[in-house]
Structure 1
Amino acid sequence: MSANIPTRSPLAQTEKLSIICPDGVPLSAVLCAPAQVQAAIMLSGGTGFKKEFYLPLANYLAEQGLATIVYDYRGTGESKPADMRQCSFSFLDYGQKDMPAVLDFLDARYPNLPKLILGHSAGGQQVGFMPNVHKVKGLVAVATSVGYLPYMPLDYRLKSYYFFYLFTPLSILLKGYVAAKRFKIMEDLPRKVVTQWRAWCSKPNYFFDPQFYGKSVPIGAFDQMPFPIHVFWATDDPISNARSVPAFWSHVKSVAGLSFQVLRPEDWNTRKIDHYGVFRTQFKDSLWKEVLGALQRML
């Protein structure tokens, strides 16, 4: 079902949607589309981010002729079930179930147009798990890397240890899920999402580690991506940095090429880009044009 939502732009229209995954789980989504569509973009966010954070960029891309959909992963944001304590969703479900369902929706809505993915953090990590990845024409990944804690600066590493090894188990014990929103850490998350995420982050190679890869984690299409991939990462990002970015992408092979673009805050007249700054409206006239250009070059 869908309902139109008015927008300020005369060039684009937003439509609120409920996308039903093959296993019956509904995902809350918003499609931003211009009157004349050149391509369709699936904007897959980072873990614990709600879709509304990405809406300004989605509207911007729509104004440039790129229909763009943003959505909440199962178990978070407006895709959260009524009782989080009974929620058994896993982190891997994002790539195996949610992303494919959203891509299938775009393919049905725009069957004759190219489909691209703009992935932030986990939204870029799990593309290789998608069984319908052959429908994708290109991937632009932002701040996508392994999440190995020892690769992070000390202050952020300590915060991450606190979140994973103190806050998470206490929250699960007391609430049955990771109740992070009330503490302004991130959106609430199902317990299995965070415990699986924590396990992956304990290994330098993330889910590519032999303990997971090919066992609890499928092999997927990471060694045979059939489209070009362009990766943005910022030098002040405590998560996706000079050690963690190569550690992830060394496991990914693209027949059409894999390229990287380093973002230095001083080059963009700002003090901070960080792990998520690319999506902030302050960069509408600068970094957003870089993202748009990367997407357009894949068409």
Structure 2
Amino acid sequence: MAKLQPVQFSSAPGVILNGSLFLPEGPPRRTIALNGATGVPHGYYARFAAWLCEREQAVVMTYDYRDFGDSAGGSLRSSRATMAQWGAGDQSAAADFLLETYPELPFWVIGHSLGGLFVPFYAQAEKVQRVIAVASGPAHWTRHPLKFLPTVLFFWWIAGPLSTVLLGYTPGRRLGLGFDLPKGVFWQWRRWCLSMGFYRADWGGVLPQPRFEAVRCPVTLVSVSDDVMLPPKAVAQLQNFYPHAAVDHRTITPKSIGARQIGHIRVFSERNAAAWPAILAVG
């Protein structure tokens, strides 16, 4: 059984992130950073992380991005966090922590949605030995199913901007996003999702220049057939962000795991645990 241990690490001067380490009973074979989706606290992944720890005999780390969840430090209205800081900053810091704490072990990244987008921005990207990106890709409103378009356009153009301006943060709980978000995260997320280039416009500015050539490990893209937020065709676009890697794309269907539905978030819920081996499978 996995042993649970609280963990803290620094992402930037004055920025401390909190999370959990799942430690196997015997000597670990590898380390895995489990990067969460936007608005999803790290505790949501605990069951999957414990299963992953036992299955892979791995040290697995979950954590919350700055000014969110267990890493929240003050008023959400005063937060200056951005999505670029969550991805290029906090995810890279999580990788650094595991690589420096366990330098002798192979290092993997498993990212959910936002968590699978930023490996080329990591300071030590060349040390990542496998990437598994689940329901992750450059979202754009044209890549959603037609039935979901009214919802997504209402969110990006009316509900999201109006509530964020009025409240000083994005009320994710009320808008069905999970948890509340810093306003800077919302505005940058909106900018990227309304641009066909996604975050390319910010390279070399608020985002550092990506080092595509550093990521040459196997990359597995996992899509979910009934995911309306990141449907398979959007996930497929992520292969363009890993041009030097060997990329495998597979799709999990509800029928394949005996479920009625899975969706964007619940692929990591315990009720859909039958999907977990498919996430790890080597194509």
Letter in 2 for 1:289: P
1:127 Cα deviation after fit: 1.7
Q: Which residue of 1 aligns with 2:279?
A: 291
CA contact (8 A) 2:222 2:235 kept: no
Residue matched to 1:4: none
CA contact (8 A) 1:61 1:68 kept: yes
Aligned mate of 1:268, from 228, 232, 257: 257
Structure 1 residues 125-174: Cα deviation after superposition (integer angstroms, max 9, x where no partner)? 12222122122111011011111012112342222222222222222322
The answer to whether residue 143 in structure 2 is matched with residue 151 in structure 1 is yes
Alignment of 1:84-233 (within 5 A): 84-182=76-174, 184-208=176-200, 211-222=201-212, 224-233=214-223
Is the Cα contact below 8 Å between 1:77 and 1:188 reproduced in 2?
no
More helix by share: 2
Residue in 1 that maps onto 2:18:
28
Code of the aligned partner of 1:207? Y
Question: Residue by residue, what CA displacement relative to the aligned partner does 1:17-68 show, whole Å, maximum 9, x if unpaired?
Answer: 2222232211110111112211111000111111011110001111221111
**Counterpart in the other structure of 1:61:** 52
Q: Is the 8 A contact 1:205 1:248 kept in 2?
A: no
SS of 2:21's equivalent in the other structure is strand
Cα distance change of structure 1 residues 212 and 96 upon mapping to structure 2, 3 Å threshold: closer
Deviation for aligned residue 1:96: 2.1
Q: TM-score, with normalisation over the residues of structure 2?
A: 0.92
Counting matched residue pairs gives 281
The whole-number CA distance in structure 1 between the counterparts of 2:244 and 2:219 is 7
- Structure-1 residue corresponding to 2:266: 277
Query: Superposition pairs for residues 241-252 of structure 1, below 5 Å?
Result: 241-252=231-242
Q: Alpha carbon RMSD of aligned pairs, Å? A: 1.9
Question: Structure 1 segments of 4 or more deviating over 4 A?
Answer: none
The separation in 1 between residues aligned to 2:13 and 2:148, in whole angstroms, is: 37
Deviation of 1:215 after TM superposition, in Å, equals 4.4
1:41 aligns with 2:32: yes
Gapped regions of structure 2 (runs ≥ 5): none
Amino acid at match of 1:127: V
Q: Which one-letter code corresponds to 2:275 in the other structure?
A: L
Q: CA deviation at 1:216?
A: 4.2
Going from structure 1 to structure 2, the CA distance change for 1:203 and 1:223 (only over 3 Å counts) comes to farther
1:69-80 correspondence runs (5 A): 69-80=61-72
**1: CA distance between counterparts of 2:266 and 2:165?**
33
Letter matched to residue 61 of structure 1:
L
TM-score between both structures, scaled by the size of structure 1: 0.87
Secondary structure of 2:118's counterpart equals: helix
State the alpha-carbon separation in 2 of the partners of residues 176 and 183 from structure 1.
15
Query: For 1:207, what is the secondary structure of its paired residue?
Result: helix
Distance 2:92 2:138 in 1: 22
